[in-house]
Each structure stands twice: as structure tokens, then as C-alpha cells.
Structure 1
Amino acid sequence: MNRRKQLAISLCAAVMSGLLVYGVYLLQLKQIKLEETVKVVVPKRFVPVGTILTADDLKTISLPRGAVGAQTVTSVAEAVGMEAAVPLGGEEPLLSWKLDKYRLLPQADEATFQIPRAYVKSISNGIRAGDEVLVYLSGESELAPSHRLFEGEIVVAAVKTAANLEIDDPKNPNLLSMAQGDKESMYASRRDANGAIDSINLNLTESEWLTLDTVCKGGTAKLIIAFQASSIGEKGEGS
């Protein structure tokens, strides 16, 4: 009886030892797998150019460490709020050069429109590419009273001089200062610009453009485009 008991104990010990060895083997395999792969960010689906990325657009997958370059985005937080500067393929590793922090390009439902000079009554001289502006309608009759044309802010794609040059301070570019979050340099670049605004390009949805064109083409109402100083702070603080 004691012999059977000893055999049973020995058998159980052997089984437990085998399970322990197998468990250690599985843990080692998992550790090796973790060391050989890196989590990278990919879009869940195709993303059109101009789309502002949200957490719902992104996920992470594992890739071999050797396939991950210096520009590969590895954190979802790094990509959220950025703009797709080029179309992004679904499940393709996200690269930093494909993203833009500032919305100079129109979003997915927008296009860039050059506003006809005849439509504009005044443009604030402080406006630069990348700013968010307020658009008002200045009516010349009681039937078309002055009012704010669009509730939201509109992104400026470009502001040009009569010589078709982008208005900026060549020695201290506004967009460079914006990217660096340097509000003092941004303010200085607006003071030392290279010309007066002759034309302005705005990023508008189709309905916004049609509304603007409808109210202005008759010539009885014109636009007043105002600079919103808070856009400097918002962009600078978000860097």
C-alpha cells in the first residue's frame, strides 16, 4: 500500500514538474515575442486627406522591431488631433511625415476657395495662413442687415499680396513660430510683414461657399473678415 502511495506521489510530482516547466517555457516565448515586436499606430480604415484624426480612427498593432522606423508613430496620443496631410491607408503604419499639426489644408468635407476681391469690404491686416477668422456680412440695406455670416471660425489657407506672395515676415516666418509655439515671434512676424493683404483663401464647406456667394454676388452686401487673436494662444498652447 505504501508502495502505491509513493508511486502516486511520484507521478503527481512529475506531472506538476512538467506543467511548471511548460509554463516557464510559455512565459519565455511570450517575453521573446514582446521583445521582438513593437506596438505601432495604424488607421482602422482609409482616411481622406484633410481629416482631423480622433481616437476612434486609430488602433495599435504589433510589428517586428526591425520594421519600425524612427518616423513610425507608436502612441495613439501623438496622432489624435493631427491632420492627415496625405491619404492614409487602413491598417498601414502611421508615419509622422504624413501628419500635420495645423489645418492649412481643407478638411475632408471642405475645399479651399479664393474669395473674390469684389466680395470683400475689409480684411484685418493681422491675418496670416493658419489663423482662424470670423466672417461677417456688412449689409447696405435694412433688408440685408449686417450680421455674422458663419457661427464657427473659418481657417485661413493663404493670404497673398498683389504680387501673389504669401504675406509673412521672411526673416521670422509666422508658420515656423506657430510650429514652435512661440507666440512672441508670431506677434513680431505680424508686425513686420512684407505687404498688404490683396487676396485671401479660406477653407469652406460647399454649403458655406454657396451661402457666401449667394449673399455677395449681387453687390449689396460685402464681407468683413476679422482676425481672432485667441487662435494664436490655442495653437501655441497645443504644441
Structure 2
Amino acid sequence: MTTRPAGLRERKKQATREALREAALRLALEHGPDNVRVEDIAEAAGVSPRTYNNYFSSREQAIVGAVTAEREARVAAAVAARPLDVRLADAVIEAVLKHYTDPGEHHRDALLLITTHPALRDAFLVATSAVSEPLAAAIADRLDAPDELTAPVLATAVAAAIRVALEHWLQPPTGVPATAGFVVVSGSLPDLLRAALTPLVPALDAAEQGSPRQPGPR
């Protein structure tokens, strides 16, 4: 009986958070992010500015959140869902590639907006750090790691690799203005992510080989 009120409160909070994200994105697409105020977002979502500040620290965070919402949890869930006979490094790389390169049809315009506005790009990059905690939990569960450092260190390294790849992807080539549209330094985002994550493969392999859940030679 005691879990139902908590569940209802959490659902209401999640609904408010989603309403704020979607309102922020809609207003930014309609009027431009520089012309959107926190008060406008709160009013569009049917809440007070004070309530808005309980969920987001800036308008950029809310706008970016419409694209990145739950992405970190989906990455962790994808890693956790892979069978133990799938190499940990492969599970991590495949999860990151899937959830960081397919924004969905609904968010393609939003991603274009983010790539063409410096403040939104910065908020987008900062958001990559949020993957560390849920991913660490998924890695720890797969490894059944006896220590408290391995999984968080690996997850933090993965988050750093993702950020490096995105920084390269979002950096305009020399001579091209930041407002020119999608800007890719070289190659595709999947290629950049894979290249950034590849140096971490030996560490992921080493952690897996020392795991009591290691299924044996592949």
C-alpha cells in the first residue's frame, strides 16, 4: 500500500518534466531559442516558474532534454539486456551507437536546432555525463564486480569518449559559420563514436575477464 502514493508522485513528476521539455522545444522551434523565456516555458506547460526551476536550471537544459530524455537509461538498459555471452565491449558500443545516433523522426528538427546554436550545443555536450551513473550500474551487474571502482570508472570513461566524439561532430569546419546547419568534421557520428570508444575496449575486456560471471573462452 505504501508504494502506490510514491509511484503516483513519481508519475506526476515525470509528466511535468516531459511537459516542460516538450513546451521548451516547441517554443524554441517556433520562436528561436534566444526568444524563449523560462516564464514562457512554464506558462506553456501549465506550471509556475518556481516549479520549472525544480526541474531544470536553464532553458537550454530543458530544450536539450526533449532530445536526450531517458537516453541514458535506455543505453544502460540495452547493455543490461544483452546476454552474458555477448562481449561487454560490444554491448556497450552497440548500445551507445543505437541511442546516440537515432534521434527519431520527431526530434530531427530539434537536433538541427541544437547543432546550430552554441548554447544548446554546450548543454547537449554536458548532458553526456548523465550516462555514467545508470551505465555504471549496468556494468556492475554484468560483471558482478567485487570492488566499487571498476564499473564507475569504466562508465565515466565511456561518457568521456561519447563527449569527445560529439565535440568533434558538432565543431564547424574552419571557415564555416556555426549557423550553417549540420556540421560534421569528418566521417559520420557513428564512425566518430566507434573510434572514440575503441581505446576503451581493452579495459572493458580486462574487467570482464576478471568477472566471476565470465562465461569462459568465446
**Which has the larger share of strand?**
1
Normalising by structure 1, what TM-score? 0.29
TM (norm. structure 2) is: 0.31
